[in-house]
């Protein structure tokens, strides 16, 4: 019971963070889930919870979704995410921990490199990014640090960015959940755990909407870097400890 209370508390905070900056829920929650349930069970749980978190962001900002950007990103991203999920299930648990940890840490310099070059993304490039990031989402689960600069480079910001990125990611995570279910990695108990964790993320997301207009860009970048570093190190610690 204590483990569930802790996971749900972190989920509430993670939902608030993702509601403010558009990513971060998986980065914060995944190490906690790995510690309590192991990587093979944690990843399907987080997939269900992440789908619910993205749904809540869509509902919170429904009126400003950019549907062209959503379709361009999601149409190639959905089958790519399913392929990535199939790849993930073939990997050993320790390899998953190490890969996730290194991926999170590597995202810190990579996303700053992207920002400094001030890239501008067109619709066809958004579709290409959807295929690549979709596949990575199937494997490493949290690719917010990659999708965030892609959607902002397309010209979206604040509510339009939060809702469009969330709507696109929602379909990717649904694809991943269905793939897990098809391959026997999503028993009912794991699905129910995902729903429970997802409920805490949804509650946090709606709380986070209150703060979304108040956070400065500098604080947004610092918070995201801190989340990536802390989660990456904790996953590496779990794998090597």
Taking 70 as the threshold, does the pLDDT of residue 153 lie above it?
Answer: yes
Q: What 3 state SS string does 44-74 have?
A: HHHHHHHHHHHHHHHHHCHHHCCHHHHHHHH
Asked whether 47 and 176 are in contact (CB, 8 A), the reply is: yes
3-class SS of residue 122: coil
Mean pLDDT confidence for 133-153: 78
Q: In this predicted structure, what is the pLDDT of residue 162?
A: 80
Is 99 a residue whose pLDDT tops 80?
A: no
pLDDT at 17 over 90: no
pLDDT band at residue 237, thresholds of 50, 70 and 90?
Answer: confident
Indicate the burial class of 36 (C-beta count within 10 angstroms; 0-12, 13-18, 19 or more): middle
Percent of the chain with pLDDT over 90: 15
Task: Tell me what the mean pLDDT of segment 212-238 comes to.
Answer: 71
Give the pLDDT band of residue 211 (cuts 50, 70, 90): low
Region 105-116: mean pLDDT is 78
In this prediction, residues 185-202 reach a mean pLDDT of 87
Q: What is the pLDDT of residue 141?
A: 64
Q: Give 22 or 199, the one with higher predicted confidence.
A: 199
CB-count exposure of residue 25 (10 Å: 0-12, 13-18, 19+): buried
Rounded to 5°, the CA angle 22-185-179 comes to 60
pTM of the model: 0.72
Q: How far is CA 16 from CA 9, 32, 206, 208, in A?
A: 11, 17, 7, 4
- Mean pLDDT, the chain, integer: 81
pLDDT of residue 113: 80
160-187 per-position pLDDT tens digit: 888 898 899 899 989 988 998 888 888 8
Range of weakest confidence among 7-11, 45-49, 206-210, 230-234: 206-210
- Sign of the CA dihedral with 191 first, then 91, 169, and 149 last: positive
Q: Residue 206: its pLDDT value, please?
A: 73
- pLDDT of 171: 92
- Residue 31 corresponds to which tokens in the numbers above? 């190490």
């Amino acid at each position: 019971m204590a483990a569930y209370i802790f996971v749900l508390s972190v989920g509430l905070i993670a939902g608030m963070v993702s509601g403010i900056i558009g990513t971060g829920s998986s980065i914060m929650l995944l190490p906690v889930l790995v510690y309590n349930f192991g990587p093979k069970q944690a990843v399907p749980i987080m997939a269900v919870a992440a789908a619910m978190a993205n749904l809540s962001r869509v509902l919170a900002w429904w009126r400003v979704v950019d549907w062209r950007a959503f379709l361009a990103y999601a149409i190639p991203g959905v089958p790519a995410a399913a392929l990535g999920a199939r790849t993930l299930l073939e990997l050993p648990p320790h390899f998953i921990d190490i890969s996730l940890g290194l991926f999170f840490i590597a995202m810190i310099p990579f996303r700053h490199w992207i920002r400094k070059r001030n890239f501008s993304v067109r619709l066809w490039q958004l579709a290409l990014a959807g295929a690549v990031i979709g596949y990575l989402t199937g494997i490493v689960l949290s690719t917010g640090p990659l999708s965030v600069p892609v959607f902002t480079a397309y010209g979206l910001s604040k509510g339009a960015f939060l809702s469009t990125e969330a709507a696109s990611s929602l379909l990717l995570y649904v694809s991943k959940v269905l793939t897990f279910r098809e391959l026997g990695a999503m028993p009912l108990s794991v699905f129910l755990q995902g729903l429970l964790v997802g409920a805490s993320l949804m509650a946090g997301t709606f709380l986070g909407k209150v703060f979304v207009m108040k956070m400065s860009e500098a604080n947004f970048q610092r918070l995201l870097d801190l989340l990536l570093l802390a989660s990456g190190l904790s996953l590496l610690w779990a794998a090597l400890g």
